[in-house]
Amino acid sequence: MSVQHLETELDELWAVYKSRGNPAVRDRLVLQYAPLVKYVAGRVRSGLPASVDGADLVSDGVIGLPGWAGPRRTARSPTS
């Protein structure tokens, strides 16, 4: 699979997710970005004390991905 094909597929997934908020599409986006979470967690881990578990950072990042990808944001009413 070429890089161009992957970029096109990601663009299409984002377009579908933004227009419909489909949970299955959100899950595919989360899976697509999970390796990036592992990479970033490893980079962050290198600057932290030894007591911080790298697997915990990865878990926290993966748990946070759905919040990043959804739910779709809607206009909020002003709070009083």
Nearest-angstrom CA–CA distance, 46 and 31: 24
Nearest-angstrom CA–CA distance, 1 and 28: 17
pLDDT at 42: 93
Nearest-angstrom CA–CA distance, 69 and 65: 6
Nearest-angstrom CA–CA distance, 4 and 20: 24
pLDDT at 70: 59
From the number of C-beta atoms within 10 Å of its C-beta (0-12, 13-18, 19+), residue 69 rates as: buried
Query: Which tens digits make up the pLDDT trace of 11-67?
Result: 898 888 888 888 898 888 888 888 999 999 999 999 999 999 999 999 999 888 777
pLDDT at 50: 92
